[in-house]
């Protein structure tokens, strides 16, 4: 069939490839202008303290509202941003936006409300990261201890010695550090203890297995024990059911994040969800 079209197999495959290359180039171009056109925004997913049941902060999660394609998940465009280097300006935009929001909530009386922000592996490679973060904290007047930077296990392990240096300098500024997606890489917690992490986030894939998969349950249980022995705070990601929540509480997990408690949402919706215990109504009027 391809031969009949005159240019052999090549032609048979080329439209497909052309389409893919074109779509990819289009996405890159669109991403380049997305920031300037206000198409990027953050959603915030509440984090819950298991002992008190209170919302103690949020994780900032990036969204792209594409004019033709609709809302694109970070899973789909962060890789493009990384390959093109756009992740550096985008990452700084995320930091500035999240720190501005954290400062607003701080000023409204939420004095310990944490703002967790994801760092890409490319940001971790970038020599100017600590300087940029310091400048953004100064510009936004956000107290450093409100900011938590999340690094995935695989990002931390791509160049561990360099990552340790950068993370140490961020930690010395008073910023908290979390190890994200723990359990999905191939490193040991004993090795990772050389990093200045304050918190470990157990990956959602292990939480999924509670309460049916005995292996997942053992992994989660022993991870919590080991983390606590190493004086790391532990958060479980992707908690969707009450059974998972009960298991985690029973085994001494400190915090949870997941659809059971709250999905990622706008800053306005977070304000509506603030804890009703310590929080006096009315702070957010205006
Ligand atoms: P992550 O940092 O592990 O973020 C948690 C992801 O799990 C989020 O997906 C969140 O919406 C989702 N999630 C939370 N609770 C549940 C649950 O109960 N069930 C299920 N099924 N999912 C849940 P999201 O927002 O699509 O982000 C995906 C990943 O994209 C993030 O994983 C993070 O690695 C990356 N990402 C997001 N925002 C940024 C950013 O600003 N910068 C960088 N570098 N990466 C980002
Ligand atoms: Mg994260
Ligand atoms: Mg994660
Ligand atoms: Mg994840």
pLDDT digits (tens, 9 = 90+) for 208-225: 999 999 999 999 999 999
Contact present, 156 and 163 (Cβ < 8 Å): yes
Q: Whose CA is nearest to atom 13 of ligand 1?
A: 238
More confident residue, 11 or 75: 75
Q: What is the pLDDT of residue 6?
A: 47
Please report the pLDDT score of residue 262 as a whole number: 94
114-118 and 70-72 as β-strands: parallel, antiparallel, unpaired? unpaired
Higher per-residue confidence, 13 vs 50: 50
Helices (H), the chain: 8-34, 74-84, 87-107, 121-125, 129-140, 153-158, 160-172, 189-192, 204-207, 214-229, 242-250, 267-273
List Cα–Cα distances, 83 to 28, 88, 123, 133, 183, in angstroms. 10, 11, 12, 22, 25
Task: Specify the pLDDT at position 15.
Answer: 66
Q: Is 136 in the pocket of ligand 1 (CB under 6 A)?
A: no
Tokens representing residue 230 in the block: 């190493």
| pLDDT, mean over the chain | 90
- Tell me, using a 6 A CB cutoff, whether residue 78 lines ligand 1: yes
Measure 173 CA to ligand 4 centroid, in angstroms.
26
Who has greater pLDDT, 37 or 21? 37
Look at residue 93 in the predicted model and tell me its pLDDT.
97
Question: Contact, 124 vs 68, CB < 8 A?
Answer: no
**Band of pLDDT at residue 14, cut at 50, 70 and 90:** low
The whole-angstrom separation of Cα 238 and Cα 206 is: 9
The pLDDT of 93-121, averaged and rounded, is 97
Distance of CA 278 to the CA centre of its chain: 27
Residue 22's pLDDT is 87
Q: If you average pLDDT over residues 98-107, what whole number do you get?
A: 98
In what helix (H) or strand (E) does residue 198 lie, and over which residues does it extend? none
In sequence order, what are the residues at sequence separation of 6 or more whose Cβ sits closer than 8 angstroms to the Cβ of residue 23? none
- At 9 the pLDDT is 46
Q: What is the ipTM of this complex?
A: 0.98
Query: Can you give the pLDDT at residue 114?
Result: 98
Separation of alpha carbons 238 and 258, rounded Å:
4
Please report, rounded to a whole number, the percentage of residues in the chain having pLDDT higher than 70.
Answer: 91
**What confidence score (pLDDT) does residue 286 get?**
27
Which of the residue ranges 7-16, 46-55, 61-70, 256-265 would you say has the lowest mean pLDDT?
Answer: 7-16
pLDDT in tens, 243-285: 999 999 999 999 999 999 999 999 999 998 875 443 333 333 3
Ligand 1 midpoint to CA 237 (Å): 9
Residue 179 has pLDDT above 80, yes or no: yes
pTM for the predicted model, two decimal places? 0.91
CA distances to 77, 220, 243, 260 from 250, rounded to whole Å, are 38, 12, 11, 17
Q: Which of 48, 59, 61, 81 to mutate to test the pocket of ligand 1 (most atoms within 8 A of CB)?
A: 61
Which residue in the block uniquely carries the two structure tokens 């020599």? 127
Per-residue pLDDT, 94: 98
Q: What is the mean pLDDT of residues 125-140?
A: 97
* pLDDT level of residue 21 (50, 70, 90 thresholds): confident
Please tell me if the CB atom of residue 276 comes closer than 6 angstroms to any atom of ligand 1. Answer: no
């Amino acid at each position: 069939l391809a031969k009949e079209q005159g240019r052999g197999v090549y032609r048979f495959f080329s439209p497909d490839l052309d389409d893919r290359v074109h779509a990819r180039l289009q996405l890159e171009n669109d991403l380049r202008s997305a920031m300037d056109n206000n198409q990027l925004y953050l959603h915030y997913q509440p984090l819950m303290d298991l002992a008190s049941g209170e919302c103690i902060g949020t994780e900032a999660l990036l969204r792209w509202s594409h004019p033709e394609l609709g809302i694109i998940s970070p899973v789909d465009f962060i890789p493009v941003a990384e390959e093109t280097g756009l992740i550096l300006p985008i990452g700084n935009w995320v930091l500035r936006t999240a720190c501005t929001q954290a400062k607003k909530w701080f000023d409204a009386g939420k004095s310990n409300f944490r703002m967790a922000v994801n760092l890409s592996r490319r940001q971790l490679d970038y020599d100017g990261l600590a300087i940029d973060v310091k400048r953004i904290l100064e510009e936004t007047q956000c107290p450093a201890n409100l900011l938590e930077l999340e690094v995935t296990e695989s990002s931390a392990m791509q160049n561990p010695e360099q990552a340790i240096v950068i993370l140490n300098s961020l930690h010395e500024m008073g910023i908290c550090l979390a190890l994200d997606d723990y359990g999905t890489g191939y490193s040991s917690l004993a090795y990772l203890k050389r990093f200045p992490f304050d918190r470990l986030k157990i990956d959602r894939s292990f939480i999924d297995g509670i309460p049916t998969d005995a292996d997942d349950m053992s992994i989660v249980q022993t991870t919590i024990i080991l983390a606590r022995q190493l004086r790391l705070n532990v958060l479980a990601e992707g908690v969707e059911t009450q059974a998972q929540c009960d298991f985690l509480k029973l085994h001494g997990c400190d915090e949870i994040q997941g659809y059971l408690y709250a999905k990622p949402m706008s800053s306005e919706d977070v304000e509506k969800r603030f804890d009703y215990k310590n929080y006096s109504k009315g702070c957010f009027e205006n």
